[in-house]
Structure 1
Amino acid sequence: MAEKAAYRVAVIGFAHMHAGDQIKQIMGQPAAQLVGVWDTETARRDAVSDDLNVPTDVRYEDLNHLIDQADPQIAIVCSTTGEHTELVELLAPRGIHVILEKPFALTLEDADRMINAADSNDTLLAVNWPLAWYPAHFTTQRLIAEGMIGDVIEVHYYDGNRGPLEHEHGKKDLGKASLEKKSASWWYSPEFGGGSLLDYLGYGSTLASWFRDGEMPDRITAQTWGPVGLRVDEQSVVTASYPSGLSTFQTKWGTFSDPWTIQPAPACGFVVVGTEGTITSRDFAPAVHVQTTAHPEPVAVPVDEARPDQTGALAHVLHCLDTGSQPSGPSSKEVSRKGQQIVDTAVLAVSSGRITELLGSATPLGSTGTADRNAFAEGKIA
């Protein structure tokens, strides 16, 4: 029996530093073959590609040439968030399945355009939320689904890192980036999806929607903070009102340390409260800590070993293609859209300074809060 050919995969865009991680995923996946890489900035593409020994013959200067000549079946998009929609609408009609590096979209309207493009062309659309592949968090989801803590009534999230410019390619111990350097980066440009709220809230809101089995809040309040002179925030606090009570989501660029090296305080991750117990789930932790009504003293539960389809977005999508299934959990467009609803509503809440009802398909962005949403996107409100 002939061995099945590997799926042809391309990486499109290197604006997001996770592009290198995605190339490593492809190279480490026997069922995948890296057939093309492209970016608007050749030097940025080559800096990562040189480090990872990406062959020069798969480095393309023109995106259309990559599509035509390399003929990828899957594209992993690591562009700025603001370019996601344009790229999905280019790729999906060519029959190419798309994995978007988080965040999902700049706006809910953009998310719906991407979903429509994928559905109309019978292609898969998945979002890579790295936190979804942390064993602590998928172990938490399993325990919730098994009824360990009863019905979920609160989810509290705090996450972030030292700052996006502290992790530039090939540089370590950069110190604190200057205001001038920040202002020149897309990470600090609202029109491209900059700011800690747009960068990190989607993690919390998407995984919280997963933990709550799709339950959504009714209303949201939010505040952001950023140094004078920046057009985006570096910290946000969002409060979501559910029928069962209040949940909180906090984002921070400027944590004391990066959680993947040293877990800072406050610790990054989730606390999930149920009617019959709680789960504390920290990023990268080897165990989650569970309280129950039967055993109030916290118990350390070792994290689950990842299934093959839980090791990353690419592995998940390959599993879907092999089995004829759709992406599930936080990677799915359905759960990611719920997370985007919360993000967009939080943006409006920041801009208006008011308690804001949840945005959704029944409340198009064009008819509610457009001026406030545009003010945030233009950097007038941080």
Structure 2
Amino acid sequence: MPRPFRVAGISFDHMHMGDLLRQVHDHPEAEIAGICDPDPARMAGAIANFSIPPDRVFTDVAACLRTDPDLVILCPATADHARHVETVAPSGRAVMVEKPFAASLADADRMIAACRASGALLAVNWPLAWYPTHNMTKRLIDAGTIGEVLEVHFYDGNRGPLYHLADKVEVTPEEVARQKPSSWWYKAAAGGGSLLDYLGYGATLGTWFLNGEAPTHVCATAWGAPGLEVDEHSVTVLRYARGLSVMQTRWGTFSDPWTRQPQPRCGFVIVGSEGTIASWDYDDHVLVQTRDRPDVHPVPAPPLSAPNRGPVEHLIHVIRTGAPLHGPLDPAISRTGQRIVDTAFASARERRELPLAG
């Protein structure tokens, strides 16, 4: 029987760590080699959910790496992404960083350089990259169904990052209010805010839809409730050679899109020269109109198939076979998204349109 594929999870700052470890736990050929966080209390849920024994629980990264993982999943606060990758990359282990890519383009380039120096694989996971609707949208674009892509419209977010835990377990408003003053999500120095949390989704998948094309200029504005260090709503306009695209991020949607879609709906609308596609998060179909069939009609978006149904399964396949990374997970695509995010952040601060950074 072949050796199980071993995965280590380091840093529980982001609640997605629990979701990713569940994918490891449920994979028939994988095992959790170790988990690590400086605060043992933050690992308690994963220890209980996945029956992780004490000898696989660490507060020291170096000790965790000695468990000989094939893949290291990192879920630190955004501002700590580069430091964590630079710590792990010299081991040569494959690294998957949970979105967003980084707090800045300079940090993203540090991460790319660290992995290149050791030959370690670097992937950036964007959960929206695994939604059947958005994958169907990419297939329709590549098939020429809507012609040349002219505009990408994106609106996404949730009620706020503290309203849910791993597995989308809901948190009460009272507990949210208690945590908010000390949470890294609401600290500027930690990389908090809706723009840094969600614009990378739209910018990265938008770049994927555009086959890697980058905008020339970016103009953004952002708003946060009085007393907050970070934004809760941002609007970004991207100027391309052929027109404009618009992306909004929102902490404070009327409902979480995984329970019921709010209005505006969360997801994408793609406008092409020969048609349009509405690609909503969590749906089982996209809505299409073309010149040959101008009435809006549904096109099924079937579930993804193995070995590409999610990031853990996909990376096991990539590492074992040398297959290419799924589009948005590729650091080259994610780097263009980071260029957009950096420029948007600076534009909102300076209150003017800026040429694309980097």
Question: Under TM normalisation by the shorter chain, which class is it?
Answer: over 0.9
Q: State the AA in 2 paired with 1:211.
A: F
Aligned mate of 2:320, from 319, 322, 326: 322
Q: What's the counterpart of residue 35 of structure 1?
A: 33
Measured in 1, the distance between the counterparts of 2:135 and 2:165 equals 29
CA distance in 1, matches of 2:325, 2:122: 8
Determine the structure 1 residue equivalent to 2:352: 354
Shift of 1:67: 1.1
Cα deviation for residue 168 of structure 1 reads: 4.0
After superposition, give the CA deviation of every residue in 1:292-324 in whole Å (9 maximum; x if it has no partner): 010000110000331223212122211111222
CA contact (8 A) 2:202 2:247 kept: yes
Return the letter of the residue paired with 1:148.
T
CA distance in 2 between counterparts of 1:289 and 1:178 reads 36
Letter in 1 for 2:51: N
Question: In 2, are the aligned partners of 1:209 and 1:335 still within 8 Å (CA)?
Answer: yes
Counterpart secondary structure, 2:86: helix
Shift of 1:73: 1.7
C-alpha spacing 1:236/1:90, structure 2 compared with 1 (3 Å)? same
Match of 2:228 in 1: 230
Which residue is equivalent to 1:380? none
Aligned residues: 357
- Relative to structure 1, is the Cα distance of residues 194 and 177 closer, same or farther in structure 2, using a 3 angstrom cutoff? farther
Distance 1:97 1:45 in 2: 22
CA distance in 1, matches of 2:139, 2:6: 32
**Aligned residue number for residue 298 of structure 2:** 300
Cα distance, 1:251 vs structure 2:
0.3
> Which residue matches 1:376?
none
1:129 corresponds to 2:126: yes
1:49 aligned partner, one-letter code: I
**Structure 1 residue runs without a partner (length 5+):** 361-382
Residues 1:89 and 2:86 are matched in the alignment: yes
Q: State the Cα distance separating 1:48 from its structure 2 match.
A: 3.2
Conservation of the 8 A alpha-carbon contact between 2:74 and 2:97: yes
| 8 Å contact kept, 1:131–1:137 | yes
1:76 to 52, 73, 89: 73
Q: Distance in 2 between matches of 1:186 and 1:136?
A: 31
Aligned-residue RMSD, C-alpha: 1.5
1 CA distance for matches of 2:259 and 2:240?
A: 34
Q: Give yes or no for the alignment of 1:277 onto 2:275.
A: yes
1:50-74 superposed Cα distances (whole Å, 9 cap, x missing partner): 2343233211122211112x11121
CA contact (8 A) 2:146 2:275 kept: yes
Shift of 1:108: 0.3
Instruction: Kindly state the Cα deviation for residue 179 of structure 1 after the two structures are TM-superposed.
Output: 6.2
- Cα 1:252–1:177 shift into 2, 3 Å: farther
1:109 corresponds to which letter in structure 2?
A
Question: For 1:53 and 1:257, how far apart are their aligned partners in 2?
Answer: 33
Higher mean displacement: 295-304 or 276-285: 295-304
Report the residue type matching 2:110 in the other structure. R
Match of 2:265, SS state, is coil
- CA distance in 1: counterparts of 2:137 and 2:174, whole angstroms: 34
**1:246 partnered with 2:244:** yes
Runs (5+) with no aligned partner, structure 2: none
Matched, 1:120 2:113: no
Q: Is the 8 A contact 1:124 1:326 kept in 2?
A: no
Residue pair 1:124, 1:327 contacting (<8 A) in 2 also = no
**TM superposition score normalised by structure 1:** 0.90
Identity of aligned residues (%): 47
**Is 2:178 the partner of 1:214?**
no
Q: TM-score, normalised by structure 2?
A: 0.96
| 2:204 partner letter | T
- Greater shift, 171-180 or 188-197, is seen at 171-180
